[in-house]
Amino acid sequence: MKSKIITKIITGVLALSIAISLTACGSSSAMSKEDYQNAVSQIGVDIYALSDSISNINYKDIDETKKALDKSKEAFSKFLEITPPKAYAEAHEKIKAGCEAIINVIEQSSEALETSDETQKKQIEEKINQSLETALYNLIDGSDLMSE
């Protein structure tokens, strides 16, 4: 069960890093298009690097797994802090919703690690699947809007 959850997280992390690298997208004021693209690209690089560390986790080490999940959550949270230029506002909101869904996946995964109740784990896995689906749709939509 733990490895299935971690595999789903890796899938979500990779999907986000791909979406962000395709868009090439902090700051409390709106950024220029170039600054925004550079910031998003850097976040994509950071998230992609995290996917390597997540894929190498010893799933039996709960503390190590939780630390990696927390670090991943921080990377996705960085995107939420960016203020896009008006030209990217709609795309940014979609990508932001995707990041929030991935953060939900991370939080739900941490919750799954803390329980030994198989019924509860299955319920959490269903929530994770829904959050991943939401994330992927929003990330793809946002990426499409950025490339228009």
d(CA 147, CA 20): 11
The alpha carbon torsion through 54, 56, 58, 63 (nearest 10 deg) reads: -40
Chain CA centroid to CA 50, Å: 10
pLDDT tens for residues 96-128?
998 899 889 888 888 888 888 989 988 988 998
pLDDT > 50? residue 145: yes
The average confidence (pLDDT) of the chain is 77
d(CA 86, CA 66) in angstroms, rounded, equals 37
Question: In this structure, what are the phi and psi dihedrals at residue 57, rounded to the nearest 5 degrees?
Answer: -70, 140
> What's the pLDDT tens digit per position in 25-48?
444 467 888 888 787 777 777 777
71: nearest Cα among 82, 60, 56:
56
Domains of the chain, by residue range, sit at 2-147
pTM: 0.74
Instruction: Please give the pLDDT value at position 3.
Output: 56
Residues 61-67 have a mean pLDDT of 81
Gyration radius of the chain over CA positions? 15
Residue 90 — very low, low, confident or very high, per pLDDT cuts 50/70/90? very high
Q: pLDDT at position 100, please?
A: 92
